[in-house]
Chain A
């Protein structure tokens, strides 16, 4: 059996508050309890420096820092290099997916998505739960 969802810490990053709410609600339905939300990459980096997260879930199209830039920043820091990172985005072209993969994304979800897809991608990171 995989992780203990009740103690797993997840940070969601999206500039649309609606999306933060939807993803947060879906995660809570799966039993996750420690969920933080921020609306931009810079705030995410600040939080990541002070709190040990088990997973980052991020949008791509954000300003001033895109989700890809956030990912690269996380991967370039030795302390956060292996922090699991799932991109949830409307960007669906092959080159986008490849760019995220090359930058070290753990998994990639395209919007619109469903709860089963989210659970599967989380399982790919944490193991079955």
Chain B
């Protein structure tokens, strides 16, 4: 028997009670209890929604963070290779010109430290997001939410529509320029 049904049964029993004072206080108490019950049910549904959404979004967040890390490593590598080549070529120049170039190259090396810091910040973000998800799951377990409907539509809740503008695709999903050109050409023929 569910908790709400138990309350309803209790209400019936109390209604049959002859003492009006007991009846009054009991009914008020039971009303509050039923409201609390509904509120708890709604809270559980909200937590379930968050849990389902996280399960869908977290892998994407993880992949996006990895994509950012890879992109910054790759870009920094290219910048350093080019700078080192310029530094080598600078040695062939007259001293004054070489010194000036070395100053700019040093500035590039200093700026490239950003990659290390970006990486560390991304790791922190990843850790925080993972911990948040863990807390949601623990809360769901504590509230025994697994007995609730397991999809957003079962809950009567709408999924977020995928926005039209989604930003850069993940490297594994990103189409090449040739693919885009093909799409472009095919539309042009219509």
Contacts and interface: CB of A to CB of B under 8 A. Distances in A.
Given A16-B115, A18-B76, A18-B112, 12 more contacts: A18-B73, A19-B113, A19-B116, A25-B84, A25-B109, A26-B109, A29-B102, A90-B116, A90-B117, A90-B120, A111-B113, A113-B113
A111 B80 CA distance: 18
Interface in A65-116: 90, 111-115
A29 B80 CA distance: 14
Interface residues of B, number: 20
Which of B77, B80, B113, B114 counts the most chain A CB atoms within 10 A?
Answer: B113
Interface in B85-105: 87, 102, 105
B117 A26 contact: no
Interface residues of A, number: 15
A111 B121 CA distance: 13
Contacts of A21: 80
Pairs A-B, 3 closest by C-beta atoms: A112-B113, A115-B106, A114-B110
B27 interface: no
Contacts of B102: 29
A1 interface: no
A61 B120 contact: yes
Could you tell me the dominant secondary structure of chain B's interface residues?
helix
Contacts of A22: 80, 109-110, 112-113
A18 B115 contact: yes
B119 interface: yes
Nearest to B73: A18
A115 B109 contact: yes
Contact of A111 (B83, B84, B105, B116): B116
Given A25-B84, A29-B102, A18 B116 contact: yes
Contacts of A61: 120
A113 to B, nearest CB: 7
A112 B113 CA distance: 6
Nearest to A118: B110
A61 B109 CA distance: 21
Contacts of B87: 25, 29
